[in-house]
C-alpha cells in the first residue's frame, strides 16, 4: 500500500507540475495505473489474510476507508479514460479531477488510520 500511495502521489504530481511537457499524460497514466494495481492487490491481500484468520472483513474505519479508496480510485480511473471519448468532455474531466482529489485524501486518511490501528501513531 505504501508503494501504491507513492505512485498515486507521483501521478498527481505529474499532472500538476509537468503539464507543460508533452509526455506528462503518459507518465500520469503509468503511475496511477501502477498505484491502482497496488491498491487492488493490497485489498486482495488484506481480504485473504482476514479470511484466513477468521476475522471480520470490514469491521472498522480503516477498512471502510480502504474500500472507499478502491471505489473512488476505480471511478477516477474510468472517468479519466472515458473523458477522451465522451461527448461531454468537460464534465468527465471535472469528475476525474474531483474523484482523484477525493481518492488521494481518502488514501492518506486510510494510511493514518492503519498506522493508528497498529499503534505507530
Instruction: Please write the tens of the pLDDT for every residue from 108-120.
Output: 999 999 999 888 8
In the chain, the percentage of residues whose pLDDT exceeds 90 is 77
Q: How far is CA 100 from the centre of its chain?
A: 8
What is the model's pLDDT at position 57? 67
Q: What's the pLDDT tens digit per position in 32-68?
A: 999 999 999 998 998 888 888 887 767 789 989 999 9
> Rounded to 5 degrees, what angle do the CA atoms 38, 58, 96 make?
45
Q: What's the pTM?
A: 0.88
Q: What's the pLDDT tens digit per position in 12-28?
A: 999 999 999 999 999 99
Amino acid at each position: 500500500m505504501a508503494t501504491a500511495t507513492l505512485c498515486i502521489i507521483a501521478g498527481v504530481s505529474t499532472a500538476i507540475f509537468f503539464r507543460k511537457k508533452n509526455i506528462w499524460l503518459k507518465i500520469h497514466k503509468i503511475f496511477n495505473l501502477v498505484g491502482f494495481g497496488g491498491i487492488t492487490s493490497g485489498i486482495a491481500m488484506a481480504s485473504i489474510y482476514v479470511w484466513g484468520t477468521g476475522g471480520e472483513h470490514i469491521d472498522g474505519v480503516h477498512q471502510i476507508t480502504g474500500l472507499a479508496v478502491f471505489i473512488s480510485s476505480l471511478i477516477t480511473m474510468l472517468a479519466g479514460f472515458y473523458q477522451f471519448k465522451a461527448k461531454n468532455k468537460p464534465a468527465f474531466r471535472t469528475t476525474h479531477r474531483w474523484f482523484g482529489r477525493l481518492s488521494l485524501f481518502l488514501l492518506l486518511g486510510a494510511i493514518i488510520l492503519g498506522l493508528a490501528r497498529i499503534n505507530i501513531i
